[in-house]
Chains A and B, each alone.
Chain A
């Protein structure tokens, strides 16, 4: 192998490492902001029932589709975990929320990725009843509820 080839391969290697290092550093900077934004959005969704902790959140490294946030039930003052989960149904992926405490299994709250106008919410109850679970099978909800339970158990370890 001549010197020129070695230099080219070295350059390729250096550029690859530098690129991924750059992306890794950006991901660290972005992550804090993203989680803060997530908490704000989740808070607006569960406003009347739960208060989310601003600091404590958990991302399962083996399950990039589950984020767990600590929260408090406003009425009972009990600690709960609010989980944001990506479920792929027949209409493609969608983001949904589960709420769970120590005593019961995770409860499915609904989809979070679709927003509607206040007027629409009042006139059609768009995000209540059936529309909430659209494109997602009940078996899928059960499956992901079990996964969420396992993730929360892992978080508490």
Chain B
């Protein structure tokens, strides 16, 4: 049951990243914010778990942190933040989901190590997802630099539009999740 819960969480998180453009550079930024938000769950669990208004504080903290991240990162690269725009505000949904799926009902004996493992696994999956999208579409990988998204290797003159598009991203997501599910089944058989 626990495995299934995390799998559903993983699907919903990666689905939130589908509208983000198919560049690893954007993925790194989104992932950075995502990790910050997930780590803020630790103090929230510790200090606010018994508070009646914990949920309200949680939403307020996540929204404020996202706006703050948007503003501060705009100083580093305004073009990237301008391009991402409202897409960035989809990211807080994921830690909110995490709070509702896992933490809300198990605050007394909450396993912090399990949360850390989930964060690490989720980050690796997200990086693979964005890299696969960019490699298939542009034959390159990119980094976020102050002037914009910078290609590390020579990219295609014209990308393979399907993989750069949102339907293509959904196909990659489906393939990736099928692969994860297959690995999971194999592991269960061996145990």
Cβ-defined contact, B75 with A91, below 8 A: no
> Quick one: which of B53, B85, B151 contacts A115, CB cutoff 8 A?
B151
A64→B150 CA distance, assembly (Å):
25
CA distance in complex: A78, B180 (Å): 59
Which chain B residues border A8 with CB–CB below 8 Å? 52-53
CA of A134 to CA of B159, assembled, Å:
8
Contact indicator B165/A91 (Cβ below 8 Å)? yes
Return chain A residues, CB-CB under 8 Å to B21: 91-94
A58 contacts partner chain B, Cβ-Cβ < 8 Å: no
Is B161 within 8 A of A134, CB to CB?
A: yes
**A129 nearest CB neighbor, chain B only:** B157
In the complex, the answer to whether A92 meets B148 with C-beta atoms within 8 Å is no
Does A76 count as interface, using CB distance less than 8 angstroms?
no
- Residues on A with C-beta less than 8 A from B161 are 90-91, 134-135
Please tell me if the beta carbons of A124 and B72 are within 8 angstroms of each other in the complex. Answer: no
Contact A115 to B145, CB < 8 A, known contacts A15-B60, A26-B71, A93-B87: yes
Contact residues on A (Cβ < 8 Å of other chain), bracket: 35 or more
> Do residues B154 and A124 form an inter-chain contact, with CB atoms below 8 A?
yes
Bound complex: CA A30 to CA B67 (Å): 12
Option from B57, B79, B146 in Cβ contact (under 8 Å) with A112? B79
| Residues of B with C-beta under 8 A to A94 | 21, 83
Q: Contact: A91 with B164, CB < 8 Å? A: yes
Could you list which residues of chain A lie within 8 angstroms of chain B, going by C-beta atoms? 8, 12, 15-16, 19-20, 23, 26-27, 30, 33-35, 37-38, 41, 44, 64-65, 67, 84, 86, 90-95, 112-117, 119-120, 123-126, 130-131, 134-135
Known: A41-B146, A116-B155. 7 other contacts (CB 8 A): A12-B53, A20-B64, A65-B85, A92-B22, A113-B79, A124-B157, A130-B157
